[in-house]
Amino acid sequence: MGIADKLLRSLRDDRPSGKPIRLVFDPRYARPITGVPMDPHRGENIAAFLTMEKLVAADALIAVELASMASLRRVHTDGYLESLADPGLLSRVFGMDFDPAVVDAVVGAHRLMVGGTSRATRVAVQRKATVVHLGGGFHHAAPDRGHGFCLLNDIAVAIRGARAHGVTGPILVIDVDIHDGDGTRLCFADDPTVHTYSIHNRSLDDRTAIASTSVELGTGVRDARYLDALRSTLPAVVSSVAPELIFIVAGTDPAHDDRLGDWFISEAGMLERDRLVMGLTQRSPETPVVVVLAGGYGANAWRYTARWLAEHLSGRVRDVPRAEDMTLARMRLLGRDFDPNRGSELDIRFTEADLMGALTTARSSRFLDFYTREALDLGFERYGIYDRLRALGYRHPWLDWNLEDGAGHALRIYGDHPGTDGTTPPIVAELVARRDRELLADGEVLYVEWLTLQNPRAAASRTLLPGQRHPGLGLLGETLALLIMLCERVGLEGLAFTPMHYHLAVLGQGRMHFLDPAREALCRALMATGEPFAELSRALAAGRVRSARTGEVLEWQPGPFILPLSARLRDRVTGPSYESAVASAMDDVGVVVLAVV
């Protein structure tokens, strides 16, 4: 049972606790594109959170249909649509080289999301409701071109579809993504019945449109200016247009922690923005409203939409888990079928002992004395790991292991089966781990000796971090969640590894801590500089970081790094005595600065 099936099952079991809302979503949206910092699980996380909070009705999750070529031709030229098969076109739109093997998958995912926005629009119009599409928002795509990660303009396709199905009144597009909604504006430049409102950092096209409002605020915008600009411009537009149908392009990239944005809107500011916009659209409860996600880059993008929708549904602000905690919750939802205490729904020929592992038998032939090869292979399939690899062009992922590795038990996932000529396919993931009883002396942890998640096919469109040979797969969050679940199932107190470079420790900070308080102090001091972690990691490797107090070059100090799972271990690396030791060590480190060479 996949994530969409589990969500649907949960939706049927739950009862809504607030105002009804309808969601459009498809798990096939989760197609990563190497080099694009979009979380492929953004929509899935929002749906899962609203499900866990019991805020969605039984019919909330609406299925998606692939956009027809006829619907695409209402907006895009035939020449442009024919060019979508060209890897060069995708390279220009996404700003990186594209492997021809993934072109069809990327175009298919975008076309599916276009169908999702059209489906959301039909439901909104038919039911005079607000429908949230957990995808889409490709507002940069114009009739004859795409750019800014946008291949096809789903908003324009949905509007033309609505016109074809009887919507004759004024339509308003409210675009609050940080980037200019230039493509949508161009699609309707000569149409006085479609008004496009865009509030953004800088305008991308100076061509005018008959019915449009463009609010350009520049860079470095903070809450007060953003919200004041919205309040002083948007209400008048909504009033004058008197729309029969409204689209909200609800990009979360104005947020202070967005990886591509250059504004500094706080969590409170983002929530107030969404309240304001939704409030204006709800003045007439009969007006259909369609919400699309649009831009939002980094692991936290989903949290802003989830917080807003949760408040809209329940009437109160709810705590939203961190991205890594949501990943773990999502993986646990998928992992229910692997829990022997709940029984098995799997129609396969392995025994329960084969699937779950048996600690008392065949210990030398199981990964970490617990998992059979078949259980691991099946797990990677069921948890979606292989699907993610297929989306990256590795069509036949293949698992191998070596239980005789001197450093621990080794797993390797290859991008394909070995060739008939004896050639070895590329390794995309490799893990060497062991059950360690020496690190803590009085407890047992899972120690990761080696972990590689790499995409050898991806072009290095950015400078690689120290220790990297290829760009990553975008699977670190899922991998960490699986390792945590493994520790819990086997009964280990924690997860440990030794980060050989600063950036590896930053990725775990907040949940993981160095056993040695002095190493923890150095890491925190480096983070306090505010320097981007990638640049600081390279600077450390090159010997360009010095202590402001002594002038000495600071070297990165590898050491055991722990994610505690037991109460005893959490107290050891987060308790008062540990924090006191860290504070004392930070006084010795002093303030660090990046020496520009």
The Cα–Cα gap between 245 and 492 comes to 55
Task: Look up tokens 């960490």; give the residue.
Answer: 480
Q: How far is C-alpha 481 from the geometric centre of its chain's CA atoms?
A: 14
Using CA atoms, how far residue 561 sits from 209, 321, 472, 474, in Å, is: 56, 23, 21, 21
Q: Supply the pLDDT for residue 291.
A: 97
Q: Which residue from 87, 131, 130, 102 is spatially nearest to 34, judged by alpha carbons?
A: 102
Count CB-CB contacts under 10 A for residue 299: 20
Report the amino acid identity of residue 457: R
Pairing of strands 445-453, 427-436: antiparallel
pLDDT given at position 589: 67
Say yes or no: 418 and 474 in one domain.
yes
Give me Rg for the CA atoms of the chain: 25
Domain identity same for 54 and 26: yes
CB 246: neighbour CB atoms within 10 A? 24
How does DSSP classify residue 297? Answer: -
Structure confidence at residue 447 (pLDDT): 94
* 3-state class (DSSP) for residue 514: strand
Q: Which domain holds residue 484?
A: 321-497
What integer best gives the mean pLDDT of the chain? 85
Which of residues 303, 319, 335 is at a domain's end?
319
The enclosing domain of 183 has a CATH number of 3.40.800.20
Residue 506 counted as domain residue? no
Query: How many separate domains does the chain show?
Result: 3
Question: 519 exposed, middle or buried (CB, 10 Å; 0-12, 13-18, 19+)?
Answer: buried
Q: Among 292, 319, 346, where does a domain finish?
A: 319
Q: Is 349 exposed, middle or buried (0-12, 13-18, 19+ CB in 10 A)?
A: exposed
pTM of the model: 0.73
Angle at 125 between CA 123 and CA 129, to 5 degrees: 75
CA 31-337-357 angle, to 5 degrees, is: 110
Pair (419, 562) in one structural domain = no
Confidence at residue 304, expressed as pLDDT on a 0 to 100 scale: 96
Residue 350 lies in a domain: yes
Same domain, 293 and 385: no
434 and 536 part of one domain = no
Q: Are 388 and 475 in contact (CB under 8 A)?
A: yes
Residues 450 and 565 in one domain: no
Q: Give the bridge partners for 247, in sequence order.
A: 173, 290
Cβ-based neighbour number of residue 160 at 10 Å: 21
Residue 299 belongs to a domain: yes
Query: What is the rounded distance in angstroms from the CA atom of residue 141 to the CA atom of residue 119?
Result: 19
The predicted pLDDT at position 368 comes to 87
Domain check: are 351 and 264 in the same one? no
Cβ within 8 Å of residue 56, ≥6 positions away: 11, 14, 16, 21, 23, 47, 50, 313
Axis-axis angle for helices 267-281, 301-314 (nearest 10): 50
- Residue 12's pLDDT is 39
Same domain for 37 and 47? yes
With respect to residue 248, please indicate whether it lies within any of the assigned structural domains.
yes
Backbone φ and ψ for 460, nearest 5 degrees, come out as -80, 80
492 and 534: one domain? no
Q: 107-119: per-residue pLDDT in tens?
A: 988 999 999 999 9
- Asked if residue 505 belongs to a domain, the reply is no
Whether residue 203 sits in one domain with residue 243: yes
Same domain? 283 vs 336: no
The helix (run of H) or strand (run of E) holding residue 402 is strand 398-402
Amino acid (1-letter code) at residue 147: H
Do strands 22-24 and 61-62 pair parallel, antiparallel, or not at all (unpaired)? parallel
319-327's contacts with Cβ under 8 Å and 24+ in sequence apart are: 320/49, 321/49, 322/510, 323/39, 323/45, 323/299, 323/477, 324/299, 324/477, 324/480, 324/481, 324/511, 326/45, 326/48, 326/49, 326/302, 327/41, 327/45, 327/477, 327/478, 327/480, 327/481
What per-residue confidence (pLDDT) applies to 343? 35
Same domain, yes or no: 338 and 237: no
Instruction: Look at residue 503 and tell me if it is in a domain.
Output: no
Q: Which residues of the chain have pLDDT under 70?
A: 1-20, 34, 57-60, 334-364, 419-422, 459-463, 589-597
Closest to 384 measured CA to CA, from 449, 327, 321: 327
The last residue of a domain, from among 471, 497, 523:
497
Residue 393, classed as helix, strand or coil, is coil
Euclidean distance between CA atoms 351 and 155, whole angstroms: 50
Question: Would you say residue 261 lies in a domain?
Answer: yes
Assess if residue 508 is contained within a domain. Answer: no
